[in-house]
A and B are shown apart, each in its own frame.
Chain A
Amino acid sequence: MASRRTSSVLLGTFRAASRRPATTWRQRCCYHSYEYNSPPPFPPAESAILSAALSHVPSYGFTADALRLGARDAGYMDVSTNLLPRGVFDLINYHLVSQRLALKNSVQFPSAGEQGKKLGTGSKVRTLTLARLRANEPIIHRWQEALAIMAQPSYAPASLAELARLADEMWYLAGDESVDSSWYTKRASLSAIYSATEVFMTQDTSKDFIETEKFLDSRLGDVMKIGGFIGALTEWTDYTRHSAVNVLRSKGMRV
């Protein structure tokens, strides 16, 4: 009796040890570093089901049917979709996360020396935004369904967080190194522009999404203009304030 118990204890520890690699999936690094090789964002079984399900999205949309077909393709059963606690939103989330992480490999900027003129941060952001929008192309006719699900109250916080992560990733890849308050405004404005353009793209019927590209350019132009206007306004206010103080001082006032 005793020996059996010890053997089962041993078996338990062995099992725990062999399971350890699987649990490291969930460990997250709490800082962003290009030197740190981040672990895959989804455990293997989930990503097998979700990536298979994504291939059914063009014909079945973001629905439970696509998930079920994906599970079957991955060697699981209909019932196994219970592995995804948020159901269809997990499928959308998988698309968002995997496309965000794909950006750093799909977009390569030429280094400064080769091409003569160095690409500015602004045009890098434009290239990255376009690349991310192009990644929606195969499922764009179903994307409104996904937007509707993302807007549901229970999923909205997660969707907005993912949008923020996308904006951050794009600025990071564009080589932005700002450490002042523009860090926030850059990310906020890019999030707004990206989501507006994405909605525009769902209704774009032009060839090769030319209209979407134009829309994006004019939104980026707006931000430049607003940014330039705010910059000029700040400079003018600053100058006027200084001059006013100096005029008052010249009159003998102790300011």
Chain B
Amino acid sequence: MNAHSARALIRGQLLAGGRRAVGSVEREQYRCFSCTVRQAQQQQTPPKTAQNKDGTTHFGFETVAEALKEQKVRGVFSSVASSYDTMNDLMSLGIHRLWKDHFVRNLNPGRNPLTSGPSEQKGWNILDIAGGTGDIAFRMLDHASTINHDAHTKVTVADINPEMLAEGRKRALETPYARSSRLNFIEANAEKLDMIPDSSIDLYTVAFGIRNFTHKEAAIREAYRVLKPGGVFAVLEFSKVNNGLFDAVYKRWSFSAIPLIGQLVAGDRDSYQYLVESIERFPSQTEFRDMIKDAGFLVPGQGWEDLTGGIAAIHKGVKPA
């Protein structure tokens, strides 16, 4: 109770501080239901440049100083950590579970000892970035153990946010991996993974995280550094809907229903407003594919796979051997 109220206080200060620091944000303080929709439609095409010349970046549709974004994103996720799962289910109508299952099944983690024969390397070394609550990590370990009979694959969960990591640690207690060396949690910024040596990771995953990074290119370069030659960089992230009609319905849902659900269920409208705005600002499938290519990765086929008509997409890159 005490912690909760303290967190609420901190959140309030952060968000208020953020607003004050930004000062002349081109946005009204008061936002009712209808205002949100109107605003969303007015600002459909915000400027694409990720980093402006004067050291600012975008935070949803707002423009903030680069140094502030990390802090603000941290604030958002601290405030949503406890209700993260319920909210995901409500916002995506449960589909996010299917996406995550598909993502993991497609990557097929784990080294089957029956078919792969004796070898110096046992299991994969997986790094799950921005995976605080362990969603992807537990699925990876389950897949490796039950499908590939692999008891050695390790997952390192890294997140910038201690609250999300705490949530993940709590959830890990309900899995068989809590006290094994196969799962560990570290607090890290994806742009500076100094504790991870070069060429040490088989599979680097980010599920619904890269959208919030201040410098996406830097994070992708860092991924390239830590991956072994032949290692895979895999991203599950919201993307652009292909069908115009479906897109209209989807925009309506995301800009009106999601902040409302956030307000009713999590008691936090601003964080979910940020969520939908950050989805809108994320590069399209082709742009993001090109970012991955520019970092030096080989991309499979066209470079991405659309999920549910492009609401989300899986991007992959392979570090050349």
Interface residues of B in 291-321 (CB under 8 A from A): 293-294, 296, 298, 300-302, 305, 316, 318, 320-321
Which residue of chain B has the shortest Cβ distance to A16 in the bound complex?
B294
B108 at the A/B interface (Cβ < 8 Å)?
A: yes
- Which residues of the other chain, B, contact A75 by a CB distance below 8 angstroms? 229-230, 321
- Which residues of the other chain, B, contact A45 by a CB distance below 8 angstroms? 298, 318, 320-321
Instruction: From the candidates B294, B316, B320, name the one contacting A82 in the complex (CB within 8 A).
Output: B316
> A15 with B232: in contact, given A45-B318, A82-B318 (CB under 8 Å)?
no
Q: A64–B105 Cα gap in the complex (Å)?
A: 13
B115 at the A/B interface (Cβ < 8 Å)?
A: yes
A227 at the A/B interface (Cβ < 8 Å)?
A: no
Interface residues of A in 70-92 (CB under 8 A from B): 71, 74-86
A132 at the A/B interface (Cβ < 8 Å)?
A: no
B232 touching A79 by the CB < 8 A rule?
yes
Q: A191–B300 Cα gap in the complex (Å)?
A: 30
- Which residues of the other chain, B, contact A79 by a CB distance below 8 angstroms? 107, 109, 124, 202-203, 230-232
Q: A84–B230 Cα gap in the complex (Å)?
A: 13
Interface residues of B in 103-118 (CB under 8 A from A): 106-109, 111, 115-116
A64 touching B318 by the CB < 8 A rule?
no
- Which residues of the other chain, A, contact B202 by a CB distance below 8 angstroms? 77-79
Instruction: From the candidates B203, B298, B305, name the one contacting A85 in the complex (CB within 8 A).
Output: B305
> A82 with B321: in contact, given A15-B294, A68-B116, A77-B228 (CB under 8 Å)?
no
Which residue of chain B has the shortest Cβ distance to A48 in the bound complex?
B321
B234 at the A/B interface (Cβ < 8 Å)?
A: yes
B124 touching A83 by the CB < 8 A rule?
no
State the main secondary structure of chain B at its contact with A: mixed
- Residue among A16, A19, A76, A86 having the largest count of chain B Cβ atoms under 10 Å: A76
A78 touching B116 by the CB < 8 A rule?
yes
- Which residues of the other chain, A, contact B107 by a CB distance below 8 angstroms? 79, 82
- Which residues of the other chain, A, contact B320 by a CB distance below 8 angstroms? 45
A84 touching B300 by the CB < 8 A rule?
yes
Q: A173–B124 Cα gap in the complex (Å)?
A: 48
B321 touching A74 by the CB < 8 A rule?
yes
Instruction: From the candidates A43, A64, A71, name the one contacting B230 in the complex (CB within 8 A).
Output: A71
> A83 with B231: in contact, given A12-B294, A64-B108, A65-B115 (CB under 8 Å)?
no
Which residue of chain A has the shortest Cβ distance to B298 in the bound complex?
A45
Query: Closest CB-CB distance, B105 to chain A, in whole Å?
Result: 11
B294 touching A85 by the CB < 8 A rule?
no
Instruction: From the candidates B106, B124, B234, B294, name the one contacting A78 in the complex (CB within 8 A).
Output: B124
Which residue of chain B has the shortest Cβ distance to A65 in the bound complex?
B115
Which residue of chain A has the shortest Cβ distance to B125 in the bound complex?
A79
Q: A19–B296 Cα gap in the complex (Å)?
A: 9
Which residue of chain B has the shortest Cβ distance to A78 in the bound complex?
B111
Interface residues of B in 186-238 (CB under 8 A from A): 202-203, 228-232, 234
Q: A16–B291 Cα gap in the complex (Å)?
A: 11
Q: A79–B153 Cα gap in the complex (Å)?
A: 12
- Which residues of the other chain, A, contact B305 by a CB distance below 8 angstroms? 85
- Residue among A16, A79, A83, A86 having the largest count of chain B Cβ atoms under 10 Å: A79
Give 1 or 0 for each of B234-258: 1 = CB within 8 Å of chain A CB. Answer: 1000000000000000000000000
A80 touching B124 by the CB < 8 A rule?
no
Instruction: From the candidates B293, B296, B321, name the one contacting A80 in the complex (CB within 8 A).
Output: B321
> A82 with B298: in contact, given A45-B320, A75-B321 (CB under 8 Å)?
no
- Which residues of the other chain, A, contact B108 by a CB distance below 8 angstroms? 64, 81
- Which residues of the other chain, A, contact B229 by a CB distance below 8 angstroms? 75-76
Q: A81–B112 Cα gap in the complex (Å)?
A: 14
> A80 with B116: in contact, given A15-B294, A45-B298, A85-B301 (CB under 8 Å)?
no
Q: A77–B116 Cα gap in the complex (Å)?
A: 11
- Which residues of the other chain, B, contact A81 by a CB distance below 8 angstroms? 108
B232 touching A85 by the CB < 8 A rule?
no
Q: A19–B318 Cα gap in the complex (Å)?
A: 15
Give 1 or 0 for each of B104-145: 1 = CB within 8 Å of chain A CB. Answer: 001111010001100000001000000000000000000000
Which residue of chain A has the shortest Cβ distance to B110 in the bound complex?
A78
- Which residues of the other chain, A, contact B293 by a CB distance below 8 angstroms? 19
B300 touching A82 by the CB < 8 A rule?
yes
Interface residues of A in 88-140 (CB under 8 A from B): none
Query: Closest CB-CB distance, A10 to chain B, in whole Å?
Result: 14
Give 1 or 0 for each of A38-75: 1 = CB within 8 Å of chain B CB. Answer: 00000101000000000000000000110010010011
- Residue among B106, B107, B115, B305 having the largest count of chain A Cβ atoms under 10 Å: B115
Those 5 A-B pairs whose CB atoms lie nearest each other, nearest first: A76-B230, A85-B301, A80-B230, A77-B230, A75-B321
A-B contact pairs, 9 of them (CB 8 A): A64-B108, A65-B115, A74-B321, A76-B318, A77-B230, A78-B116, A78-B124, A79-B232, A84-B300
For the A-B complex with A19-B293, A75-B321, A80-B232 known, give 16 more contacts whose Cβ atoms are closer than 8 Å: A12-B294, A15-B294, A45-B318, A75-B229, A75-B230, A76-B229, A76-B321, A77-B231, A78-B111, A78-B202, A79-B109, A79-B202, A80-B230, A80-B321, A81-B108, A85-B302
